[in-house]
Amino acid sequence: QILCVIGVSHNGVSESELMELYPELTSAVLASLLHSLHKMCLLTYGCGLLKFQHLQAWEMVKLEYMEAGENVISAYRQKLVEYFTMQLRVLIFICFSSNSQDRVTWRSADELPWLFQQQGDKQKLHKCLLNLFVSQNLYKRGHFAELLSYWQLVGKDKSSMAAEYFDSLKEYEKSSEGEESMICLADLYETLGRFLKDLGLLSQAVAPLQRSLEIRETALDPDHPRVAQSLHQLAGVYVQWKKFGNAEQLYKQALEISENAYGAEHPRVARELDALATLYQKQNKYEQAEQLRKKSFKIRQKAARQKGSLCGFALLRQRALQLEELTLGKDTSDNARTLNELGVLYYLQNNLETAELFLKRSLEMRERVLGSDHPDCAQSLNNLAALYNEKKHYDKAEELYEKALDIRRRALAPDHPSLAYTVKHLAVLYKKMGKLDKAVPLYELAVEIRQKSFGPKHPSVATALVNLAVLYCHMKKQIEALPLYERALKIYEDSFGQMHPRVGETLKNLAVLSYERGDFEKAAELYKRAMEIKEAETLLIGGKATSQHSSSGDTFSLKSALSPNALLEHGQR
């Protein structure tokens, strides 16, 4: 039975899978069997899976144990189908409850579609492919051609496939509740967008990538590195689509987030600089492209040196001395920066306890070496505050953000990005804690900073205006919110055109506001315009129904639209 199961599988079977397929087997008996079969040159291991050493071994097993022919083979295949189907259900449940999608279905993704293909069951193969976790896993591991061959077998062209994937994703979205499952959903949308981009379906790729961006902005944070990843992917589509203006704005936002998250000399920053340089080159802006290329080259050169790939033993020795100094606790600004970078790294890996140790030590060292009012201390305070915010220790986070803001206000220019970063995060924290009166001046300051940085008609200013308007609505100050929404709408329309999703979201919020003020006719008109934009967006990818969640993270329906709770914060930078 072991030999037959291995034979009918796609890539082999693991020992743990055999134990689950045949629970009567003890580990001692299985180990003895496998040892004997290996010595007989029948089985070998590859990537942790048991498989036949050569084709003759499998042919021998078929002659010896499968004389009845296709019926016996089908029975063993069905056993594997039932097993991997069960594994898929269990792991998808785990994913939505604990954000474990990285370990979901790599085995099920390999085996189930292939098994259905071998059985000639197109209906089940089709259903399996519409499981986004299966398709995501195949695509992300490079099985692009295999995935396409399955779709060709079920008789679907590229456009039909895109529409069906998007509809399937919207069904997943309806059952997605909570931050972790929404993050998981954002990954699925991004994978779909990248897949459609690779197929050359650029117009269809925009909607899922845009949705992934919006979910991450709401579920994580507008300055989270994964938001930068979404911006980068979406910009790449616009570049291929020759929409260079849209791409430039997105790349610049991704660059700013990466610089804030990793520091100005990180390889991720170099990636964004290279992307912008390529974009400028396509537009014949060679001087700007050259400047960015040089900056990127310096970052990559420095990173390569730090890895020891260019300077050999001397650099390794120098690095060893630096690590020794770091371990012994020698106080230098460089050591403090390294500690901070390590803290950020552990934070991004969700190892919050270790991250806290490094960030605290970095802060203490910077205060000793540089003085407590130095901008580098504000960086450490800001990072620690973000960590405590993540751990839901809001009082600690508030205290640290306030200290960081005080330092940056005194040390930095009024429109400095680092000041804007702290202002925004403290404002969001105040709002989360219900301290709305303290949040208002910070949201107003955020508008001011963005106007100085980008000019009064930039989309970033519109986003800051929407955030302030949302806050006023929470405070039941609809009169103050109305002109902010109207100004934001004008900026979005002038920047993106009248059919952009951002325009639609602002129209929906204005519709709610008009309804609450008793202007029902205007509310209906605004809501109708918003729905037209949403329907146009859906038609891009061939879908039929609008998503349950709007692009700013709120849930908008005829029932919920009339509640002020429908107006959630607009996450776009």
pLDDT tens digits along 143-176: 888 888 898 898 988 888 888 888 888 888 887 7
The two three-digit tokens of residue 195, written as one number:
């897949």
User: What pLDDT band is residue 266 in, cutting at 50, 70 and 90?
Assistant: confident
Per the model's pLDDT, the better-predicted residue between 460 and 114 turns out to be 114
Q: What sign does the dihedral 413-458-439-352 (CA atoms) show? A: negative
Per the model's pLDDT, the better-predicted residue between 237 and 305 turns out to be 237
Q: What sign does the dihedral 497-238-249-527 (CA atoms) show? A: positive
Angle at 518 between CA 508 and CA 472, to 5 degrees: 60
- In 317-475, beta strands by DSSP E: none
CB 470 within 8 A of CB 509: yes
pLDDT in tens, 520-552: 998 899 999 988 887 776 665 454 433 333 333
CA 426 centroid distance within chain: 23
CA 562 centroid distance within chain: 31
Angle between the N-to-C axes of helices 202-219 and 520-540, in degrees from 0 to 180, rounded to the nearest 10: 120
| SS3 state of residue 534 | helix
pLDDT at 353 over 80: yes
- The full DSSP string for 407-433 is HHHHHS-TT-HHHHHHHHHHHHHHHHT
CB 88 within 8 A of CB 124: no
Hey, which residues does 46 pair with through a beta bridge? Answer: 49
Mean pLDDT of 440-464: 86
User: What pLDDT band is residue 5 in, cutting at 50, 70 and 90?
Assistant: very high
In this structure, the number of other CB atoms found within 10 A of the CB of residue 271 comes to 18
The two three-digit tokens of residue 109, written as one number:
């993704």
| SS3 state of residue 51 | strand
pLDDT at 305 over 70: no
pLDDT in the model for residue 540: 55
Structural domain boundaries in the chain: 364-539
In this structure, the number of other CB atoms found within 10 A of the CB of residue 23 comes to 7
Smallest Cα–Cα separation from 151: which of 124, 116, 134, 126?
126
pTM value surpassing 0.85: no
Residue with tokens 């085995």: 107
Q: What sign does the dihedral 483-485-486-492 (CA atoms) show? A: positive
| Average pLDDT score over the chain | 81
Per the model's pLDDT, the better-predicted residue between 417 and 61 turns out to be 61
pLDDT in the model for residue 551: 34
pLDDT at 558 over 60: no
For the ranges 13-27, 101-115, 246-260, 275-289, the lowest mean pLDDT is seen at: 101-115
Architecture (CATH level 2) of domain 364-539? Alpha Horseshoe (1.25)
Report the Cα–Cα distance between both ends of the chain, in Å, rounded. Answer: 58
Smallest Cα–Cα separation from 507: which of 540, 544, 537?
537
pLDDT at 570 over 70: no
